[in-house]
Chain A
Amino acid sequence: MSEEALRSVDLRKTYHSRGTPPVEALRGVSIEVRRGERVSLLGRNGAGKTTFLKIASTLLRPTSGTIEIFGEDADRHPERARPYIAVVPQEGKPFFHLTPREQIYTYLRARGIGRETAKSRCEAAIAQMGLESVADRLSITLSGGQRQRTMVATVIATEAPLLFLDEPSIGMDPFARRGVWDSLKGLTRKGSTLLLTTHYLDEAEVLSDRLYIIEGGRVLTAGTADELKRSLGGTLKVTIADGRGLEETLRSFGECVADGGAVTVIVDPSRLRELLDFAVAHEKAATVGPVTLEEAFLRSVGRSINDE
């Protein structure tokens, strides 16, 4: 029995369209997602996240490589994988002529779920996504964020073992996003596995057990949020005001970035004391804060862009 919910090996995808040069969207992506895990794909626009999610969710055929869902070849036998997956497509919209309640219910019924179960799951999803007040309004009259919540509610109500969510919280307010996080965590507690993409790095940090950073159709780095942050050389950042002249010494503490007159140093907690003493000795103001995932992301993608 396979431990992985999803495994891709050297997955490649080249888009061919008439009149334009072919686009290599994926250039050998190998990813594993274990059961019950929540994994995020991060990457710049056009990195290949949606392409990967589409191939994994049997919406698109890869050019080469293998993709397995619960140990089953999802390229050659998509129909075997489909009962176990559900997907929130990027920029999907609900049926405009249905209400969110009808949309969720009909989709569950289409998946073969019985009437009673469909009804109760539909109500639960409406409550989780905070859609109660608009549940009986036509989707065409909903705001962008409400439509997106309807799409997420539709898919989480399936309680499928493997869920793909392409930018699920896009356009949602901070409350609604937290609602999505809670529901997704609840789903993994019940045993589902999640693979999502997002451009909100706070969200990625809260939600994911592991992250993959994709750049130019390849996996750049992978690991937990902490590991990614540690790869910067420290988990704290110290900003020294007016530290321009001290850069030489500051570099010995860790990576430095100059921002106007200030210099930010990434430093390991064990050397914080020493660094602060150094700042005090030179009568400079210093601010200490944690390194964010965003910084780790910017740094590692930035490095790869410079290497090109």
Chain B
Amino acid sequence: MAQPVRSANLPTEGRSLPAFLIIGWRWIGRNPAVAIAPILLPFIFLYFLSLISPAELLPLEIVGAMLFTLQNIGSWVLGDSASWRIEASLQDLFVASPMGRLRYLFGIAFSNLIAMIPALVILGTLLGYVEWDRGTPVPFYAWLILLGVLFALWVLFSSIGIAISSRVKTQREIWPVGNLTFAVLGMLSPLYYPISYLPPAWQLVAHGIPTTYAALLVQGVLGITPAATDTLLLYAGLLGLSTAIGVTIALRLYRWRPG
């Protein structure tokens, strides 16, 4: 390429973290309820479920709440990126820059992760305590696997969120679309109950959703619903595969520059 006038001192690669750390952190700092809502929401559902279900399901439901929290990042990502694109035309500034769509996605996903970390830490502590109290403390490798699963869901649902946001046309659509997508995905997969509770046809549908494998894997590793190592490996593989497929589709749908 012919060099533009002042190419020295002109970065050709954008950066995500330095910008979105500030964008995310300021958002939480200046809107306290925004920080509180994602922390409280999973507990509201957890409380509701613990009231209507048998006590032995509690650890499963705590893990479910963690997965649910990660999945919900998708709807926050959707809301942010859609309002920045539609209401403020701010996305234009990032498109016409060296940043690139993946760094932008990562930035928004990251700034929303910041808001979820307190909830995850509290839920994690609760899980550790409940399991320890029952005489089955969570082994170290199980924590690592849990982290890995949470990471996969973060990537997957942030991508889905931004993909949908790039297709939404008005502010009005954001809330219903996000609500529909993420609530239905959350309901279809057995986050809050063993998959065996579901009617057979439903179980079949659930097996098409990455969150299902995330739930099965974590429930198995924690010994909540015991499973053979082979089965767990299969779940891990299917989680990886379905996540990869989901991310690929999402990234294809994610429009950075409309046609």
The count of residues in chain B whose C-beta lies closer than 8 Å to any C-beta of chain A is 43
| B88 lies within 8 A of chain A by Cβ | yes
Indicate with 1 or 0, residue by residue over A75-95, a CB within 8 angstroms of chain B CB atoms: 000111011111101111111
Which B residues are CB-close (under 8 A) to A92? 88-90, 92-93
A204 shortest CB reach to chain B, Å: 22
Determine which of B3, B22, B95, B259 lies in contact with A58 in the assembled complex, contact meaning CB atoms within 8 Å: B95
| A98: Cβ under 8 A from any B Cβ | yes
What is the bound-complex CA distance between A238 and B102, given in angstroms?
A: 61
| Least CB separation from A162: chain B residue | B4
Contacts of B89 in A (CB 8 A): 89-93
Among the stretches B11-19, B42-50, B233-241, the one at the interface with A is: B11-19
A26 CB → nearest B CB, Å:
14
- Whether B193 is near chain A, meaning CB under 8 Å from some CB there, is no
Within 8 A of B (CB), among A99-116: 102, 105-107, 109-113, 115
B5, B11, B23: which contacts A191 (Cβ < 8 A)?
A: B5
**A284 CB within 8 Å of chain B:** no
Give bound CA distance, A22 to B203, whole Å.
46
A84 and B89 CA atoms in complex are apart in Å by 20
Task: Please classify the interface of chain A as helix (H, G, I), strand (E, B), loop, or mixed, using the class held by over half of its residues.
Answer: loop
Residue numbers in B under 8 Å from A54 (CB-CB): 92
Given contacts A1-B3, A60-B258, contact A83 B93 (CB under 8 A): no
Type the 1/0 row for B5-32, where 1 means its CB is closer than 8 Å to any CB of A.
1110111111110111011001100110
Q: How far is the CA of A2 from the CA of B30 in the complex (A)?
A: 48
Contacts of B5 in A (CB 8 A): 35-36, 161, 191-193
Specify the chain B residue showing the minimal Cβ separation from A78: B257
B2 at the interface (CB under 8 A from A): yes
> Closest residue to A108 on the B side, CB-wise?
B19
Is A70's CB under 8 angstroms from B257's CB?
no
List, in ascending order, chain B residues with CB within 8 A of A1's CB. 2-3
Q: Tell whether, in the assembled complex, residue A161 and residue B96 are in contact, meaning their CB atoms are under 8 Å apart.
A: no
Indicate if the CB atoms of A83 and B22 lie closer than 8 Å. no
* List of A residues within 8 angstroms of B27 by Cβ: 97
Residues B11 and A112 in contact, CB atoms below 8 Å apart: yes
A178 within 8 A of B: no
Contact between chains at B23 and A98 (CB < 8 Å): yes
A-B contact count (CB 8 A): 147
The yes or no answer to B136 lying at the interface (CB within 8 A) is: no
Whether A110 lies near B2 (C-beta < 8 A) is no
Q: A98-B23, A110-B107 are in contact. Are A80 and B16 (CB under 8 A)?
A: no
CB distance from B89 to the nearest CB of A (A): 4
Closest to A112 in B: B11
Contact A94 B88 (CB under 8 A): yes
Q: For the complex, is B100 an interface residue (Cβ under 8 Å from A)? A: yes
B173 contacts the other chain (Cβ, under 8 Å)?
no
Whether A113 and B26, one on each chain, are in contact in the complex, defined by CB atoms closer than 8 angstroms, is no
A17 — nearest CB in chain B belongs to which residue?
B169
Chain B residues closer than 8 Å to A87, beta-carbon distance: 92-93, 96
With both chains docked as a complex, state the minimum distance between the C-beta of A172 and any C-beta of chain B, in angstroms.
18
> Does A235 sit within 8 A of B, measured CB to CB?
no
- Asked whether B257 lies within 8 Å of A98 as measured between CB atoms, the reply is no
Which residues from chain A contact B87 at a C-beta distance below 8 Å?
93
* A-side contacts of B13, CB under 8 Å: 83, 112
**Cβ contact within 8 Å between B23 and A95:** yes
| Cβ-defined partner of B99 (8 Å) among A95, A105, A110, A115 | A110
Closest CB of chain A to B258's CB: distance in Å?
6
Tell me, in angstroms, the Cα distance from A111 to B87 when the chains sit together. 22
- Nearest-CB distance from B14 to chain A (Å)? 5
Among B4, B22, B94, contact of A98 (Cβ-Cβ < 8 Å): B22
Measured in the bound complex, the distance between the Cα atoms of B27 and A83 in whole Å is 28
Least Cβ–Cβ distance between A275 and chain B, in angstroms:
47
- Chain B residues with CB under 8 Å of A79's CB are 100
Whether the Cβ atoms of B93 and A107 lie closer than 8 Å is yes
Q: Is the CB of B257 within 8 A of A111?
A: no
A120 to B102, CA, bound (A): 28
CB distance from A148 to the nearest CB of B (A): 12
**Complex-state Cα separation, A61 to B248, whole angstroms:** 23
Closest residue of B by beta carbon distance from A69? B4
Partner of A83, one of B10, B16, B18, B23: B10
Q: How far is the CA of A178 from the CA of B10 in the complex (A)?
A: 28
Residue B201, interface by CB 8 Å: no
Q: Inside 8 A of B97's CB, which chain A residues have their CB?
A: 82-83, 85-86, 107, 110-111, 158
Chain A, residues 162-187, CB within 8 Å of chain B (1/0): the string is 10100000000000000000000000
The 9 closest A-B pairs by CB, nearest first: A112-B11, A110-B19, A161-B4, A83-B98, A191-B5, A89-B89, A92-B89, A109-B18, A93-B88
Q: A110-B99, A111-B15 are in contact. List 10 more A-B contacts (CB 8 A).
A: A1-B3, A72-B2, A87-B93, A97-B31, A102-B22, A106-B22, A107-B19, A138-B30, A161-B4, A161-B6
